[in-house]
Amino acid sequence: MNLSKLFKPFLVSSVLAIGLAGCGAANQSDKSGDEAASKPEKQEVNIYTARHYEVDDEIYKNFTEETGIEVNVVKGEAEELIERIKREGESTSADLFVTVDGGVLANAKQNDILQPVTSDVINENVPENMRDTDNNWIGLATRARIIAYSKDRVSPEELSTYEDLTSDKWKGKVLVRSSTSLYNQSLLASFIELNGEEKAEQWSQGIVNNFARQPDGGDRDQAKAIAAGTGDVAIMNTYYVGLLANSEDPEDRKVADSIGVFFPNQETNGTHVNISGIGLTKHSKNKENAIKLIEYMTSAEAQELLSAQNYEFPVNPEAAKPELLEGWGDFKIQELNFDTLGEHNKKAIEIFNKTGWK
Ligand code: FE
């Protein structure tokens, strides 16, 4: 990866952003007069996030350096955070809610904890299909749920669709994590939306019948199980492939070397993609700062950093992708409204239970 190419524009924009932040501060003290100038209020923004990636903290740190606005982070499970924001009501300190699943973002909107964001900068940074229809949430990054395969034992020509993984030729060879993972719940929810409940159930049953072993561990563990010979193919998210390939642990890099990445359903309805997003809370006390942070997080430089370090696909089309992701090329994305992932979540869990996907 050419790092200097990635980071040069980053530095240039930092200088620009500092200049802009200076203008903003001047405007603000004009508005509030001398009192504000003598007793400057602490500039801060509070985030409740269900994302668990180091790069997020780095982006917040860069934002603080550029704007002087402090970012306070509360981490937790998405559903817990939604409940907490609801419970705290008007007194919540959360300005922003961040999570990794389109269904959960829709759920947050339905629970009435978010409000629409009006910003030309954000609308320019993020294409319409990567935002809620009312801008109650804004996409930050996407990941594809792909089929990883053993380069030694499988040729990519043998792979085609998610559905094909249920055929007899994959008996005892399919690796995938537990159905308690939102990643699998949203994958099955997408099949319910696109193919109907009956087909979705057949698919789940077919995968269970072809399990190489009972679900165990996270996505990375499925790749490791391919390398160990436990199974030949695994359903997993793209960014974990990137994290393994760039891990400090040589064993992880060996695992990444031994697997290929296949984007299924290219001839049919496309590869399943899920989205991370951010929403402004209904009772935000630092609305201006919160919107500034969303603008920053969706800017090309923050998006490039996010993609370079966490191997997610940027939502801002101006952002450069790391070499590994570029190497995978363009692929057809499963087209559906992210809201539907939340709508079918319960049904998906029901089907998993019925078909014995633990
Ligand atoms: Fe993850």
Distance CA 223, CA 198 (A): 29
How far does the centroid of ligand 1 lie from the alpha carbon of residue 143, in Å?
10
User: Is residue 274 a contact partner of residue 142, using CB atoms and an 8 Å limit?
Assistant: yes
Examine the pLDDT at 67 and tell me if it is beyond 80: yes
How far does the centroid of ligand 1 lie from the alpha carbon of residue 264, in Å?
20
Rounded to 10 degrees, the C-alpha dihedral 297/302/306/309 comes to -150
pLDDT in tens, 142-201: 999 999 999 999 999 999 999 999 999 999 999 999 999 999 999 999 999 999 999 999
Segment 324-328 shows an average pLDDT of 96
Examine the pLDDT at 27 and tell me if it is beyond 70: no
Strand locations in 132-245 (E): 138-150, 174-175, 233-237
Segment 56-82 shows an average pLDDT of 97
- pLDDT, residue 194, reads 97
Mean of pLDDT over the chain: 91
Tokens at 303, concatenated: 């998006």
How far does the centroid of ligand 1 lie from the alpha carbon of residue 236, in Å?
10
Distance CA 254, CA 151 (A): 12
Phi-psi region of 217 (alpha: psi -120 to 50; beta: other; left: phi over 0): left
User: Is residue 255 a contact partner of residue 219, using CB atoms and an 8 Å limit?
Assistant: no
- pLDDT, residue 191, reads 98
Helix (H) / strand (E) containing 278: strand 273-281
How far does the centroid of ligand 1 lie from the alpha carbon of residue 217, in Å?
12
pTM of the model: 0.86
How far does the centroid of ligand 1 lie from the alpha carbon of residue 219, in Å?
8
How far does the centroid of ligand 1 lie from the alpha carbon of residue 43, in Å?
31
Of 38-42, 88-92, 278-282, the least confident? 38-42
Distance CA 8, CA 286 (A): 31
How far does the centroid of ligand 1 lie from the alpha carbon of residue 181, in Å?
9
How far does the centroid of ligand 1 lie from the alpha carbon of residue 145, in Å?
11
How far does the centroid of ligand 1 lie from the alpha carbon of residue 23, in Å?
38
How far does the centroid of ligand 1 lie from the alpha carbon of residue 182, in Å?
9
How far does the centroid of ligand 1 lie from the alpha carbon of residue 238, in Å?
10
Confidence of residue 109 (pLDDT cuts 50, 70, 90): very high
- pLDDT, residue 307, reads 98
pLDDT in tens, 246-291: 999 999 999 999 999 999 999 999 999 999 999 999 999 999 999 9
Burial class of residue 13 (count of CB atoms within 10 Å of its CB; 0-12, 13-18, 19+): middle
